[in-house]
Structure 1
Amino acid sequence: MLAPEIANLVQFFYPIGNTPAVSLTQDLPPKKKADLLLLGCGDVRHILFTVHTEQHGRDPRPLDVTCCDVDTAVIARNIVLLSLVLDDVDGANDQLIWNIFYHFRIDEGSLDLLQRQTTKLLSLSTSLHTWQQTEYGRVIRMCDRISLERVRDMWRFYGEKREGDVLRHFKKKLDDGMRVSQEFQKSVIGDKMSVITGIRAAAPACLQATRALGDLYKNYWAFGTTDTDKTTRSLSVNSNPMFAPKDGNMFLHYGTDPVLGFHIGSCYARIKPTSPESGSSSANPELHEIVKTAKTEFGTWTKSFRAHSKADLITLRFFIGDAVAFAYALQQIRTTGPSKSSHLYRDRYHFEPLVLDDESYLKTSAPLVFDIIDTSNLIDHLGALNLLTATSPLLRSSLSATVYSEKLVRTQETQISLLETLLCGDMPTVTSLLGLVPVEVATSSAFSSAGDEALCQDTPGPSSKAGQVFSRIAWKRPLNPADVAVNTLGLIHFDSAGLAQVLYRVLLKMFAHEDVSKLLARMQSTQIQSLPTYNRASFVAFLCLVKTRTSTGWDKTMQELLDLMDQDNSLAFANTYMQELCLWMHLKGLHSVDILKRPPYSLTSHPQTGTLEGWQNMPPMVSVTLRVPRSKLDPFIAETIKVGVTPPLHAILQSSPRAASQWQNMFAETQIGFGNLKAKGSRHSDSFEVEIEEDQLGWKGKSPMFISFYVPSWILLQEPCSATVSLAIPHSPTTTRTFASSLGHSLSIFTAKQEEVAHVYITKNQPHQSDVMSIHGFYPEDVKNEVGPDRNSETTVTATVNEKTGQISSFATRVQILSEQSKALLRDGSEITQSLRSPFNYALALKNGPSFNANFPAPVLDSTVRVRIARKSSYLELVADVAKSTDWSGLRSFMYPVFLDSGSPALWNMPHVNLSSLPTIDLTNPSSERLQWLRTHLPTMWSAPETALKFNPSLPAPPKTRARVDFKDGLFHMFLGFSGTAGPQASVYAIDCPEEKGVQMVVFVSNMLLDISNRTVVLDAAVLPLYTDLMPQILPALQDMANSTHSPKSIRTSKDELHLWKEALPAWTERCRSWSHKSNCEYTATGKIPLSIKFGERVLCSCGKGTVPTDFMPEFDGWKALAKHCVRMAISPAFASALVEKPIDLSVLSSAGDASGEDLNSCQVCGKDEDANGSGLRNCSRCHKAKYCSRDCQKADWKKHKKVCKADGN
């Protein structure tokens, strides 16, 4: 399965999600139909929340969502929930549905409803066809027959009527299972340890929630219910079968907590009573109020889902199986059509072939490329490179299409080092090959604060340094703005030596766990304990992708790669896994070493005895299936459960102990299963086949295990009788320390001679397969040299590799001009101008001629760009050095890019938001304790380095770096100023740049909202950009406003900072627009967004002008005249990316002043940077840190400031 086999003897059950629901479509333009793929989908909270946000939009979009999870129970539970929601047309059963889905102890009424519903589902699902004809089948489809059979099996377990001893035995089984889970939870968490991961659900107002969320968690695990009322709780006398494992050793995960999937920040932030999602009226809500908030949100989700379904706007498709295998199966259908099998297994632990036999796949009407691919936190278990290699070819080629990955398990001490470890190599190099870019890193901007994660790490508990660090990473296609309907990824040209060096470095990182010197000398303990996620077939899958992404001398590249590996001795097991690597390279058509090009019998004599004597036409590879008796497994199983580990497994072929020539080969690309073997054909011949009649009890049952793997045939011919085949555990510090005493130094669980017919079976293919698994890479039409409009040019990109590091050092983008008219201009000496559009894109323009795009797969350094002009050969070439990962934080002006995508503006890194669906924060009492979290949340906009610059203006910094720090400062004062928590409330702001002749724009703020999807706040605002032609029309209204109670508060900027404000305006307005762009939109006409950042020129198009709601602002002099020229926008804090720079140290905030992260260069109260006379600010005479513009401001702040004020030097 393209990953190491794992002995999953101890498994956790994740029935419900452990992170707050997010909108899966927030990065997509509004209205357009969206195709989504959810791998490791878990529960349906993200789907329900996404549908809810769509339902609150002006035109809810159609959604087609394909869901994959390896756990049958997860999918079965989801369909039970959705069917109950669809049936509950008036919402009368919300409470019972909540109980069934979220409680592991339920009352009689809930249990009765569950049994009736599952009995109903069973009666409607006797076949794929009958299911699709039902009312449920209109919304919920199964991708294949086996998935349907599996969920039916679970429904039968949930709903079967039992009586007498059968019922008593069943109840005891459920009760025992839940008791074991509770005991395990207690052994991990203990009685005193705090569990605070729930603060993510309360963010951004999370500080006050810690204690209550810990109490709710304890209540849930003690009683199996979210109910806190004793009387109600006492009714929950039944173990819920929806939380019980049907078979095997499975524990309910100790972090399970229903509240974690919801947004309960409204309980702690003061919310207007008229607002959606209104919360508690108390500053310290009772536990039942928090639960009520979650239940209320759940009710709004289910109502929206029914509405979306009724309007035929949603289709859900479910598949049960391995995420990576499913992705490759979808690739197979897209590449070769549905008639050819993918020859993949459904998952790692069964010999069931993966066949997508629903009619929507047979007719290819189901989506095969996607706008959104969400992979949950599968990178923790399957490896980021495995997942991105499998999913990138399935991502639509558009600016907005996104792959999301989450990480919960800590593998690095800091997030900064996370990406290159995940990618197994240099970030710009590997992402260029994948055709993906981590957007947050490229822009050094995030929309969620790292502050709540920092709080998790600073508080002792299972989520602190030994446990979790939550990261959600968005990966998009490299920026390639174009006015064409379909964008493609351009081929990257390499010389063979350079590409071989790149691939070699990736291989070393993939198998760093085999580098014993590094493992023992430098790896952190968290890395030593983590399981390997790659095998040699994983690397070959990556090679398949690279081959379709690049243009090079491929055979030469592969030979040079093998030569590099042959010269290396850093990987302890490189030689013993080499035959497996060469085998899979041969099987996938990547490269064939000489020994695999020759017929196996040409290498040795035809065996007269043994397992191969009857073979006539032996292929270069065959399958070996080893039968492992249960008697040999049981001691290993007992030891594994005792020590509580899940070791990897592999197979070993080696010479007999007495052989003159000793050899050993290991194979990690294996398939395991349990059951009984059924043979077909003549045993010792090429017609021999085996099938496995599966024992679904697996490890828990009594059947033998079978492990199957492909091997080069010539190895089996070395000693056809006496060579041995073993099931073993790979060596590592952890496995050797744990198992050497019981299994011996070889860590072998079972060994048989090749001639032992009762245990060793040799066939052409693995059980139930007729060929090897399909791995395709990019679809040919998606990757090719870029061709310009009207075919007037063709662009090629060539990478130069630093062979000492194996990293791409520079790109050369050559635009070959094909138009005869443009060729003539070039020959005649036409002047060439270049202009920067983004760190990925440049424009090359011929004077009096067309402009050509020069695009790069990764950001480049503008300071290194040089142009080569070949007037006779008719090409222009742009050469630039790649911005290394350490340089990306320096791309300071590249924060919120907006480009045209097929003629429409598209956001690249700013989420869309529906302002009408968000809770409105009540600011009528700014001094309320329930608003003080703002003063902790907002300063987390700055990274640690930025904080140093903010508090120490004398520190040297590039102008654009300083501009970004100051830009955040302006936002900080706008948010605090509007909230009134740091002085008088202000709702109108003038962005004033003395270098650019004064005020450039006026911002009107109407409300502050909770952006619950991104765990932050957002200002519902409108902007009036000032430009020369507009001023005569609005000058009287501006003067009226200046003389009214809404006189603007000034935010002073530098010229560089002003440019950031102007570049942000199109993104802020585009993300919340409810209007449509017009046919004469200036963005489309000019191809520029923003239109200009120059003084006196227009920034925004005119399409949204005057679209602010009539009740947007309270009436004041001049407002009506100004409103006609305003555009509505949604302003969010500009958080630093924790993947780029170290997050702010929360302790720095308090030591610098207080939890607000007070600005040491402006008045602590009103934000002014000078006193009324225009002179400097006065310092607090005691601490000399806090500053004030007047005695009145200092007096107003003293009550708060004295709590943190310390005499200078203390």
Structure 2
Amino acid sequence: MAHPLFWPGQYYFYPIGNTSAVSLTRDLPPEAPADILLLGCGDARNILYTIFCEPKHFGRKLDFTCCDFDPAVLARNVLLFTMVADGESYLTIWNIFYHFKIDRHSHDVLVKQCKKLVAMSDTIQHWKSSPYAPFLKMCTDYTLAELRRHWGLYADMHELPQKRVDSVREAFDKQSRASRENITLIFSTSRSCGPLSTQGISVVSDQFMNYWKTGVTFTDQADIADANILNPTFAYSLGGEGYHVHYGTDPLISFHLAALLGNGGGSASVPDAVACAKSQFKMWCLAFRSSVASTSHLCIRCIVGEATVVCRTLHAHSLTGTLNVNLPIAPWKGEVLRLGADEYQRGIAPVTFNVIDTSNLDDHIALLNVLVTSIPLLSSEPASVLYAESLLFNSENPTKEFTDRLHADLTTMSLLLGLSPVDYLSGFTTRSNTHEVLTFRALKKKISVGQFHQVTTWKSPPSGDPIASRCAQQILPPVFDSRQLGTLFYDIYESLFGQEDAMTFFEVNRHNIQKAIGTSNLIHYIRESFVLFLAFVKDRLDVAEEMWCDVMDRFLALRDTRAKVPLSMDLLHQHDLCAQLYRHSVYTISPYRANPPKIGRFATWEAVPHLVRIILTVPREKLAVLEIPDGIQVGTPLLQGEVFSTMVTADFQHYFSSVDVAFGRAILVGSEANPRVVFEEDTKGWDGDSSLIASFTVPTRVLTDFVSPTNVNVALGIKSTPATLVSLSSKLGTKIILHSAKLMDDSHVYLIPEQPLPRRKARTSFAKQEQAGTDTFVCQIGESGAPIVELDEQCELVASLTSRIPITDEASQAYFGSGTMPRIAQISSSVLRLTLGGRIQDVAFPFPIIGSANKLRLARKSLYIEVAVPISRALKADGMKFNHFPVIDTGHSSLNPWSIHRINLSHLPILDLNAKNVSAWLNLHAASMFSTREQTLLKKREADALAYVKDTINTIICRFSGTQGTPRRQIFALLDKSRNHIDTILFIDNLRFDLASHTVVCDGYVLPLTPELMDKIREPFAKLGPATNREMSHVGVYDGELQAWKRLLPALVERCRSSWAHGDKCEYLAKGTIPLTDDMDTYLDPLCSCGRGKGVEGMRKVGLWKPFAPHVTRIAVSPLFAVSYLETVARHPDAHKCCVCRGRGKPKMHMCSSCKKVRYCSRECQKKDWNDHKPRCKAPSKLQ
């Protein structure tokens, strides 16, 4: 895997999820079949909750592919699924899945089920004949074998010698004490209480203490006493036999406790909290059982493997059909991932997905690694979505840390990746994390806050534009200037690896050096990680080879400038980088173009390749230095391969960070001319006594060209970091080498050929969708070229996007030749409309734009028009402000809100407004949707449609709930202050908890008033006068707000559509626009008629409302929360970098006096760059 190899240290087993359950289909149209990939899937909560949330009206296919590198996680999940399918009592299943200790009956059920599963899983074919095979699939033979092994361990654990059972019990008792020591309040579980997290801290903390003290969620002493058998499903994991369960494990984290607290006056007892969780678990199990028993298409696929390995294997299969790319399934494993032929060669199992959930892998392998490996698996459907989340943070301000995790500007990186966070573009989110923000702010100065939950929803930017989404296939990948792109790559590279050098490390961390040293082993990127990023960008942007060579030449030139310091880390990793560039067919440096010599170990080889794999046998005893007698390892140092000279005078040392290790033995086969090695893995792993076999790839010339092969050693070493130098240099010396051997030692060092990995480029554009009605994308002048990206002078931020339109249409040529001036206007977030005489051309960009700042370049002789525009995002002009709330036609009469998640209102609990203390938390929660900037805007009454809409939503929630001392109201008329006119009425039936999104939602109905409708309802409408809380409340709306509401209403309708579908006569589809109108003067209905009068039982229960039931449409109104990481920070002058060496000023930066586009740190760098810069050093051509 392209990730550092850590010495494993203390292994933590996560048998239970550490965040509350979410619906994985919350951003898909209800008609769309769901192919869902769960990377680092964890327990079954999200699958169960997703099935529970599904609208029964549609019965779509749900196909989950569940990946986890710990087979125990999947073994437990399958055990749960099969018991639920078999109709086992949910209380018994609860005990088995969540309790550390279980009673005799639960244990008997567990053993019986495990033996049943073992009996039908000896082969894949046998499993396929089992009653579970229709909905439970195994993606690899290894997966089934590992799950079967665990089921056998569960069944047999209490038949083990008493000494081993006692050892497990002692390990649990030790962990139980550790989890309860020095802990008084549990904040991780309290986030399951959402907006009532502060009120819930006490009860969840008490429950946590009880759980870890007793091993159960029971509070009755008799039940606790009966549960005296250790639960075997917690005793086995990748950590081996024992208790490796993470100290923060808590069953209640997986569930939603907001309704319990909100309807209970803000307090609850431990038994209440447990009963609430069990009730939800019961409903989830019933939904799952119903789904399995019905004709619905439910499929859950299991695959044991590390997430990036699974992604790379699935992607390779999608491109080449291969089942195996020779990647170990996980670190410290020798087994390679091989997909099952029956499911994958026959095209049954999906290899692209319209939902990818990456759990909190960001915390474990870093965001860029997650995105680079998972995005290629994302389907090209317009509704496709990728979820990423994190729990941990390292900086002083976790609300801003997210943007640093990409190591480049978020807009720039979005153009490279092809995806962007939705809230980054829209400027709001309907998922609340304000309880996280408030908790952090309240506690950061009092205690150490270890977690901050951040969830991001990633989509393709054009998919959020109703027009661009229709022509996404025609939007070519953006084109970057080769010099700018190479510079950008270097800056990303420097951000990833700059702190490897001691001087840089201590300079950057001088204000917090102790913490920096303690966390200096928390590294997630190696050179291969960066090479995979380059490969991804090259493929996605479809860069021509000649241009790519220019990009890489620029990148390597900058890197070489900074890598000239002797023994700098970058110099020591130079051959590591070059080898991976060649291995992944990204770039070939000059020395790789000549054949290596046949000398040393290669003298007898038939052909000497450019790369070889070194296989080194490390005796078991050499690992003891990293262990102390009680078995706890010394931290988590990073391992690396090394090649160095035994000669004291030779300056020859090279590091290779892509290392595979496993316990077992390497066996040399083949011949001297064509050597091969097979590996026999010791299945006992750490519990065995086999040697450790390490392998890594090196350039052949490193072993032949610099030092005589007889003077070369190869080694397994430890990466030098401040932390490892402090803890290990006294044991291993300053070079920190675990074991080395001479290159010529053919009994301990094997060399085998390593060929470049086959690569085939994937398509990057959207699949063309069938569209009904009017085609709104117009192309009458000529085909637009690929958009050209211009970065700013620092090659960090996007300065503009430029699209060239060659004029090929004869009529357009005539207009243009006669001097007609083109006119241009922005018609959607990322589309401009160019008008030339009587001809029209729509120009689509891959990202939202500021069309009002466009600049035209006219080439009347060459017959083309160029249009350049700045790029937009939230808080900037134009862009998504054209419609913050787009509803996208995804094809086949299926519509989907882009920036607002879906909910199933019937599954959301109602807030009891008569409960105690509702105002204490609800007012604060509703008000928390505003950012400081928006609060200022509202105070000054400065025009901002989104802020005004938020203010109106806040007013509706407060007046409906009566939490601000006024009588409750249920009918709201949106009063346009500028015209003193009302054309929209909202009826609010209930306020519900949107549990998974930690917020509330108004369950209501909208009545758009048109002249035709008023003629029909004039009499009942006149009765909507004073009548207790049925009185209509007028809510004033201001500049541009009513127009925003007309755009918002279709999304509020669509998000809760669960019992009806858009028909062939849908007005949206016929007209090709959503909403049907946002014009303030037309008095037309902005909504289609498909949902009118459907699912409106709540209207019929109220006498005054009943006459309106046939005319209203159900909606779900919820707060629109500010995005915590969005505030703009201006670049500090000291942050400018030299365009030659990327260094800082000496002592200050100098800008080129002519073009004023580049800066230099010194005259020397300016002179060095002049030959390259001279052709570029000119003022931009005149724009019209």
Q: CA deviation at 1:427?
A: 0.9
Indicate whether 1:136 and 2:132 are aligned: yes
Aligned partners of 2:829 and 2:880 also within 8 Å = yes
Q: CA deviation at 1:1127?
A: 1.7
Change in CA separation of 1:258 and 1:824 when aligned onto 2, cut-off 3 Å = farther
More displaced stretch, 628-637 vs 223-232: 628-637
Change in CA separation of 1:871 and 1:1120 when aligned onto 2, cut-off 3 Å = farther
Change in CA separation of 1:724 and 1:1142 when aligned onto 2, cut-off 3 Å = same
- Residue 67 of structure 1 aligns with an amino acid whose one-letter code is C
Q: CA deviation at 1:915?
A: 1.0
Q: 2:935 aligns with which of 936, 947, 952?
A: 947
- Residue 20 of structure 2 aligns with an amino acid whose one-letter code is P
In 2: Cα distance, 1:736 partner to 1:564 partner: 29
Counterpart for residue 545 of structure 1: 536
Aligned partners of 2:157 and 2:232 also within 8 Å = no
Q: 2:868 aligns with which of 875, 879, 882?
A: 879
Cα deviation code 1:249-287 (max 9, x no counterpart): 6621011000000012221122xxxxxxxxxx6763321
Aligned-pair identity (%):
30
Indicate whether 1:174 and 2:168 are aligned: yes
SS in 1 for 2:903: coil
Q: CA deviation at 1:837?
A: 4.3
In 1: Cα distance, 2:789 partner to 2:708 partner: 47
More displaced stretch, 903-912 vs 98-107: 903-912
In 2: Cα distance, 1:364 partner to 1:617 partner: 38
Aligned partners of 1:466 and 1:526 also within 8 Å = no
Counterpart for residue 1170 of structure 1: none
Q: CA deviation at 1:936?
A: 2.1
Q: 1:252 aligns with which of 245, 258, 267?
A: 245
Q: 1:326 aligns with which of 286, 298, 310?
A: 310
- Residue 636 of structure 1 aligns with an amino acid whose one-letter code is L
1:1047-1196 matches, cutoff 5 A: 1047-1073=1031-1057, 1074-1097=1059-1082, 1098-1104=1084-1090, 1106-1109=1092-1095, 1111-1113=1097-1099, 1119-1141=1105-1127
1:131-210 matches, cutoff 5 A: 131-160=127-156, 163=159, 166-186=160-180, 190-210=181-201
Aligned partners of 1:405 and 1:473 also within 8 Å = yes
Counterpart for residue 1166 of structure 1: none
Change in CA separation of 1:184 and 1:777 when aligned onto 2, cut-off 3 Å = farther
Indicate whether 1:913 and 2:909 are aligned: no
SS in 1 for 2:711: coil
Aligned partners of 1:225 and 1:233 also within 8 Å = yes
Q: 1:266 aligns with which of 259, 262, 273?
A: 259
For structure 2, the 5+ residue unaligned runs are 1130-1184
- Residue 948 of structure 2 aligns with an amino acid whose one-letter code is D
More displaced stretch, 1123-1132 vs 413-422: 413-422
Change in CA separation of 1:831 and 1:1130 when aligned onto 2, cut-off 3 Å = farther
Q: CA deviation at 1:988?
A: 0.7
In 1: Cα distance, 2:418 partner to 2:537 partner: 10
Aligned partners of 2:35 and 2:353 also within 8 Å = yes
Indicate whether 1:497 and 2:477 are aligned: no
Change in CA separation of 1:191 and 1:848 when aligned onto 2, cut-off 3 Å = same
Q: CA deviation at 1:449?
A: 2.2
Q: CA deviation at 1:860?
A: 2.7
TM-score, scaled to structure 1: 0.86
Q: CA deviation at 1:185?
A: 2.4
Cα deviation code 1:662-684 (max 9, x no counterpart): 111110011111112222134xx
Counterpart for residue 558 of structure 1: 552
Counterpart for residue 968 of structure 2: 985
Counterpart for residue 730 of structure 2: 741
SS in 2 for 1:1077: coil
Counterpart for residue 360 of structure 2: 377
Counterpart for residue 705 of structure 1: 692
Q: 2:585 aligns with which of 582, 589, 593?
A: 589
Q: 2:218 aligns with which of 223, 227, 234?
A: 227
1:659-808 matches, cutoff 5 A: 659=649, 661-682=650-671, 685-717=672-704, 718-765=707-754, 771=755, 773=757, 778-779=762-763, 793-808=783-798
Cα deviation code 1:800-855 (max 9, x no counterpart): 12352343321112345666666666667777554434443334456654552x33
Counterpart for residue 600 of structure 1: 596
In 1: Cα distance, 2:745 partner to 2:628 partner: 27
1:615-626 matches, cutoff 5 A: 615-626=605-616
Aligned partners of 1:416 and 1:1140 also within 8 Å = no
More displaced stretch, 991-1000 vs 560-569: 991-1000
Counterpart for residue 1171 of structure 1: none
Change in CA separation of 1:1019 and 1:873 when aligned onto 2, cut-off 3 Å = farther
- Residue 177 of structure 1 aligns with an amino acid whose one-letter code is A
Q: CA deviation at 1:517?
A: 4.3
Indicate whether 1:126 and 2:122 are aligned: yes
Change in CA separation of 1:33 and 1:392 when aligned onto 2, cut-off 3 Å = same
Counterpart for residue 412 of structure 1: 395
In 2: Cα distance, 1:199 partner to 1:150 partner: 35
Q: CA deviation at 1:862?
A: 3.6
In 1: Cα distance, 2:396 partner to 2:28 partner: 33
Counterpart for residue 1182 of structure 2: none
Change in CA separation of 1:798 and 1:742 when aligned onto 2, cut-off 3 Å = same
Indicate whether 1:286 and 2:274 are aligned: no
| Aligned CA-pair RMSD | 3.0
In 2: Cα distance, 1:664 partner to 1:885 partner: 49
- Residue 909 of structure 2 aligns with an amino acid whose one-letter code is P
Aligned partners of 2:440 and 2:449 also within 8 Å = no
Q: CA deviation at 1:1102?
A: 2.7
Change in CA separation of 1:1012 and 1:363 when aligned onto 2, cut-off 3 Å = same
Counterpart for residue 62 of structure 1: 61
SS in 2 for 1:83: helix
Q: CA deviation at 1:39?
A: 0.4
Aligned partners of 2:421 and 2:459 also within 8 Å = yes
1:1031-1042 matches, cutoff 5 A: 1031-1042=1014-1025
SS in 2 for 1:77: helix
Counterpart for residue 240 of structure 1: 231
Counterpart for residue 1024 of structure 1: 1007
Change in CA separation of 1:464 and 1:762 when aligned onto 2, cut-off 3 Å = farther
Aligned partners of 1:269 and 1:931 also within 8 Å = no
Change in CA separation of 1:633 and 1:1009 when aligned onto 2, cut-off 3 Å = same
Aligned partners of 1:599 and 1:619 also within 8 Å = yes
SS in 2 for 1:206: helix
In 1: Cα distance, 2:911 partner to 2:889 partner: 34
- Residue 100 of structure 1 aligns with an amino acid whose one-letter code is I
Change in CA separation of 1:418 and 1:570 when aligned onto 2, cut-off 3 Å = farther
Q: CA deviation at 1:657?
A: 2.7
Q: CA deviation at 1:782?
A: 5.6
Counterpart for residue 1207 of structure 1: none
Aligned partners of 1:546 and 1:777 also within 8 Å = no
TM-score, scaled to structure 2: 0.88
Aligned partners of 1:585 and 1:592 also within 8 Å = yes
1:525-544 matches, cutoff 5 A: 529=519, 531-544=522-535
Counterpart for residue 45 of structure 1: 45
Change in CA separation of 1:1038 and 1:315 when aligned onto 2, cut-off 3 Å = same
SS in 2 for 1:341: coil
In 1: Cα distance, 2:1079 partner to 2:1018 partner: 20
More displaced stretch, 523-532 vs 317-326: 523-532
In 2: Cα distance, 1:888 partner to 1:420 partner: 21
Cα deviation code 1:478-537 (max 9, x no counterpart): 124457598476322223212211211221122243254453234467665161111111
Change in CA separation of 1:1063 and 1:520 when aligned onto 2, cut-off 3 Å = farther
Change in CA separation of 1:1113 and 1:1080 when aligned onto 2, cut-off 3 Å = closer
Aligned partners of 1:651 and 1:727 also within 8 Å = yes
- Residue 898 of structure 2 aligns with an amino acid whose one-letter code is W
Aligned residues: 1100
In 1: Cα distance, 2:471 partner to 2:480 partner: 28
Q: CA deviation at 1:1058?
A: 2.4
Q: 1:836 aligns with which of 826, 829, 842?
A: 826
Counterpart for residue 346 of structure 2: 363
More displaced stretch, 751-760 vs 1126-1135: 751-760
